[in-house]
Structure 1
Amino acid sequence: MRVWWARCLVAALAVVAAASGTAAAGPARAGQDTEQGVEFRSGEVTLHGTVTAPAGTARRRRPGIVLVHGSGPETRAKYRVEAQAMARSGFVVLSYDKRTAGYSLTQRSYPQLADDALAGVRVLRGRADVDPRRVGLWGFSEGGWVVPLAAARSAQVSYVVLVGASGVSPARQSAWSLENRLWHEGVAGSLLRTVPVTGTRFLTDAGLLPEADYDPLPALRRVHQPVLALWGDDQQSPPAESAVAIGKALRDGGNTDVTLRFFPHADHKLRTSSDGFQRGEHVVPGYVETMASWVAGRGHRTNDALPHQARRSHALVPLPHHEGPAAQAAAFALMVVSFAAHLLKEWVRRLRRRPCAPGAGRAPRWLAATGLATLLGFLGYLAFVTMTLTPGPVLGHRPVFWLVLQLLAAGTVLAAVATVVSWWRVRASVPGRTGARLGLLVLASAVFVPWALFWGLAAL
């Protein structure tokens, strides 16, 4: 009999879940909380998530909150610490795996991600243990751009919590973050502009930084729900600038229920951190408690003083046509082919033990070798810095690898001058094919100089 009643109860819960777009798995214990797997639809995509709730039977319905991810292929596992901390503070929390359809490093749509968040809101509103009048959205980092879009479109969102949100565009925020990281690593000089500014402008114009120019302020002006925005010692989103921009946009839209709070000794995600760069494992004390009190209406709604922000972000202007990705790709291909072809020709000549033609001696070989090494080394080093966010060994505030590349670039220019001089001296005796090959090499050198200036290899 008890088994029959248990089956009926499970079936009833499944019906409720299905009515709200979910298909629930059986609950499993997670410390003092309970976790329940769910599936729900957002358009044509099925999303998988976990509902984390306080253990025990609540005498009254609890507030619900949907966690909206930061950038990248985020999964619910990355937010389990936050979900469990919020559940212990009385929330029923939905975390879910970010969609893979339509989302990648080079493709994403914030309105589409907002649809996913609203689908999660419907899941919580359909649960018997959740107060449907108190279901909100929590947006971290990239989620700080997504959540206002969702909240502005649906009255079912009761409140908004933003963590590490940026009040500037993704491209501008990315450049500021990269500059902060390099500065923290002790870097000064041209690399501080090359990677954060020039590199971000190039990726934006090449279409490799999705939603790069998204302006978050119009959506914020349409948000009328209560908003709690939180920052730590943020080194990824400019905290002072973002707080001012977000607060002003909300107030310009007529929203007077705006609370801005700052937590020292916390990183971008409000995990404990000594400097904002080191990533912590535990949520900073007071963060979740502040959020719970605020949602319950017991927390104060006055704003903290703005934190110190050492460097301001800067707007990024598009590259001119002659410096754009197409021109850069053509110039890079011309230089690589010219330098490599000359080295290959010299290698074949040596294998066949043929004499060196007039004008095609040591200087052109040095030009081709140093030029090719600079190009390929620059490409590899830029990829390394971008992916690892570390410059490698630093000597006198200059990364050692960057100094080597700058020396190679200087050697390429000197070798180009030497090549032109030696060719000019014997121009009357230079064979036609050798002259054409040297001409192509000099042309590549002429392209190399503005290229090196553009990417900071010829600057201090």
Structure 2
Amino acid sequence: MAVLAAVLAGALLLPAAPGAYAAGDGLVRQEVAFRGGDGLVLHGTVLSKNGAPGPGPGIVLVGGSGPGPREEYRQEAEAFARAGITTLVYDKRTVGYSFLHRDFGLLADDALAGVQLLRARSGVNPRQVGIWGFSEGGWVAPLAAARTSDVAFVVTIGGSGYDPLRTQAWNLTTHLHHQGTGGPFRRTIAGPATRFMGATGLFPAAGHDPVPVLERLHRTPVLALWGEHDTQVPPQESAQIFHETLARSGNRHAVIGFVTGGAHNGHRTSDGFDRIGGPLFHGKKLGELAPGYAQTMTSWVRAVAAGNPPESSTAPAPVQALATTPVPGHAWYAWLAPALLVLGFAAYPVSALLRRGPVLRPVRWLAGLGLLAVMAAVACPLAVFVVGDGAAAPVVRGRPVVWLMVQGLAAAVVVSACVSAAALSRRRPAPSRAAWLRLAPVGLAAVAFVPWAVWWGIAA
């Protein structure tokens, strides 16, 4: 029913849309408004070549993560249109999409609504409309195509073969490596911190598996590209997954390739971490389209539209500096362990408020330092997931300064535990239920803190 709603909604071009106009670059642009999968009004631009003979192919551009205004993909839209491929590029929804909530199914319905809009246009062959997806769109575009036979082909750039959480962990560790962060902190990010994000549900669409979706594209021609210097999704591993999955599904028209000199978005770069030329977007260079990138896509689309989809092929993959780290499912222990530690250390000051049991200054320090150490140890990598690798700067001797502070707190917890044990040995408080209730939780937390700190990577 959701697909049917998207089809019906996409067929409706709202009457408020202004007319088309021709620019000096030979392209005709029309501002359009259409209803997405849940009825939300989306705004976009349809670009076509002035005077192009029709009917010809069409393509809907699906952007990457974030707010995704259409301007970010203007270069791609113009390249497709100049090649005679009518193109819809639209502003991504901000309703029903946020940092903590992603619904790829809803985004796929939006893309299908765009497909129906193009299929209904004069000058477009309704049997030759496909979807282009970048980055996050590399999960959305195949999902949309797998839902209906109305999508004639799929093009992806920078699509991941893994779920979003494993992909983001690789993205972060790659950027941390680039800024000089050593292996221990990167292992914390890729290991326990990633499991914590997944187990707590803080990472949206963490477990979306693209493989079953790709397996359903056994009849749809696919062009999957990655930048030679992609630093945001693992290009070598992703290309292998796309190749193996599409081949296993029986798809005979799956072309796997790489953009020479291209970044994650297929634009010019020197190493994947910069962009060369191109317009500014949010104050940063987008980079020019890498040489051959647009030509590769447009010539492939035109071949598919002409009824001659290229046979399956896979280009040699570039070297991938870091490998991804598997993320086990249902890692409940990732959040339960720090939660129990916090409760154990917090029990001592809470019991002090209730005036139960003996009060010892060393144990008071142990409880306070333990609480601070656990919360800081969790917050530090969490900030990297929220803000990016910049949250780990500056770096000293391969370790973020904030992480060195966390390690200092951890050492203080161990010292405080030893001092507290010595103080209790000297004073030997009279055994009582109140003393047990007051001292046992913090003592158990102190003992459990050491192996947890080793696992979390604080002791590395």
Q: 1: distance between equivalents of 2:93 and 2:172?
A: 26
Amino acid at match of 2:57: P
| Match of residue 9 from structure 1 | none
| Match of residue 377 from structure 2 | 378
Say yes or no: does 1:176 pair with 2:185.
no
| Match of residue 6 from structure 1 | none
The equivalences for 1:225-236 within 5 A come to 225-232=220-227, 233-236=229-232
Q: 2: distance between equivalents of 1:452 and 1:380?
A: 14
Q: 1: distance between equivalents of 2:246 and 2:422?
A: 65
Cα 1:437–1:168 change in 2 (3 A) is same
Segments of structure 1 that go 5 or more residues without pairing to the other structure are 1-16, 350-356
Pick aligned residue for 2:127 from 127, 133, 138:
133
The equivalences for 1:10-25 within 5 A come to 20-23=11-14, 24-25=17-18
Cα 1:213–1:435 change in 2 (3 A) is closer
- Shift of residue 251 of structure 1? 1.9
| Match of residue 278 from structure 2 | none
Pick aligned residue for 1:246 from 242, 262, 276:
242
Cα 1:381–1:258 change in 2 (3 A) is same
Q: 2: distance between equivalents of 1:30 and 1:376?
A: 56
| Match of residue 444 from structure 1 | 445
Q: TM-score, normalised by structure 1?
A: 0.83
Q: 2: distance between equivalents of 1:393 and 1:209?
A: 25
| Match of residue 303 from structure 1 | 314
Cα 1:423–1:96 change in 2 (3 A) is same
Pick aligned residue for 2:298 from 289, 292, 295:
292
The RMSD of aligned alpha carbons is 3.1
Q: 1: distance between equivalents of 2:164 and 2:402?
A: 28
| Match of residue 425 from structure 2 | 424
| Match of residue 255 from structure 2 | 259
Work out whether residues 338 and 440 of structure 1, in 8 Å CA contact, stay in contact via their aligned partners in 2.
yes
Map Cα deviations across residues 100-155 of structure 1 (whole Å, 9 max, x no partner): 44433333333332222111111011111323232110011122122222222322
Say yes or no: does 1:367 pair with 2:366.
yes
Q: TM-score, normalised by structure 2?
A: 0.83
Cα 1:105–1:371 change in 2 (3 A) is same
Q: 1: distance between equivalents of 2:75 and 2:39?
A: 26
Q: 1: distance between equivalents of 2:296 and 2:363?
A: 68
Cα 1:210–1:31 change in 2 (3 A) is farther
Q: 2: distance between equivalents of 1:148 and 1:18?
A: 20
Cα 1:121–1:369 change in 2 (3 A) is same
- Shift of residue 439 of structure 1? 4.5
- Shift of residue 425 of structure 1? 0.7
Q: 2: distance between equivalents of 1:274 and 1:47?
A: 39
Q: 1: distance between equivalents of 2:338 and 2:10?
A: 53
Cα 1:190–1:218 change in 2 (3 A) is same
Pick aligned residue for 1:204 from 198, 201, 208:
198
Say yes or no: does 1:27 pair with 2:38.
no
Q: 1: distance between equivalents of 2:321 and 2:216?
A: 31
Q: 2: distance between equivalents of 1:184 and 1:122?
A: 43
- SS at 2:75's partner residue? helix
Q: Which moved more, 1:441-450 or 1:209-218?
A: 441-450
The equivalences for 1:77-92 within 5 A come to 77-92=71-86
Cα 1:72–1:113 change in 2 (3 A) is same
| Match of residue 415 from structure 2 | 414
- SS at 1:38's partner residue? strand
Say yes or no: does 1:405 pair with 2:406.
yes
Structure with greater Cα Rg: 1
The percentage of counterpart residues that share the same residue type is: 41
Q: 2: distance between equivalents of 1:368 and 1:106?
A: 32
Q: 1: distance between equivalents of 2:171 and 2:365?
A: 38
Q: 1: distance between equivalents of 2:393 and 2:64?
A: 27
Equivalent residue pairs, number: 430
Work out whether residues 180 and 235 of structure 1, in 8 Å CA contact, stay in contact via their aligned partners in 2.
yes
Q: 1: distance between equivalents of 2:433 and 2:143?
A: 65
| Match of residue 158 from structure 2 | 164
| Match of residue 392 from structure 1 | 393
Amino acid at match of 2:383: F
Segments of structure 2 that go 5 or more residues without pairing to the other structure are 1-7, 276-285
